[in-house]
Amino acid sequence: DTGVSQNPRHKITKRGQNVTFRCDPISEHNRLYWYRQTLGQGPEFLTYFQNEAQLEKSRLLSDRFSAERPKGSFSTLEIQRTEQGDSAMYLCASSTGEPFVNQPQHFGDGTRLSIL
C-alpha cells in the first residue's frame, strides 16, 4: 500500500494563471474525492468519482474548476484564471466501496496553492 500521492506539494502562481494538480489514488480504490481545506477549517467536499465517472460536484466548484479521471486511475484538478480566494490546500482521497456504503477515506498530503 503506497498510499495516495499528490503532486506538486506546493504551487505558487500569479493571479489569473491556470494550475493543474495530480492525484494518484491507492491502486485498487474505485472512488476518488477532491476536497479543499483552508486554515482552521475542515476539508470541504469538491467532487467525487466512481471509477472514471464524475458523480457529483459541489456548488463550491465554480466553472473555473474542472476535474477528470480519464481511465479510472489518476485524477487531475485544474483551476483556470486563479483568484486570491483559491489559495488553500487541495486534498485528494480514495476509497473502496459499494454504492451507498460508507468507507474510510485515505487522504494524500495535499497540494498547497498560494496565489500571489
Partner 1 sequence: SQKIEQNSEALNIQEGKTATLTCNYTNYSPAYLQWYRQDPGRGPVFLLLIRENEKEKRKERLKVTFDTTLKQSLFHITASQPADSATYLCALDMWHTGTASKLTFGTGTRLQVTL
- Residues of the shown chain interacting with partner 1 in the complex, contacts defined by CB under 8 A: 4, 31, 33, 35, 40-45, 48, 55-56, 91, 93, 95, 97, 99-110
* Shortest distance in whole angstroms from residue 92 CB to partner 1: 8
17 or 103: CB nearest partner 1 = 103
Pairing of strands 44-50, 106-107: unpaired
Closest CA to 34 of 99, 84, 95, 83: 95
CB closer to partner 1, 44 vs 80: 44
Tell me whether residue 63 or residue 98 sits nearer to partner 1 (CB atom).
Answer: 98
> Which residues, in sequence order, are CB contacts of 5 under 8 Å at separation 6+?
23, 24, 108
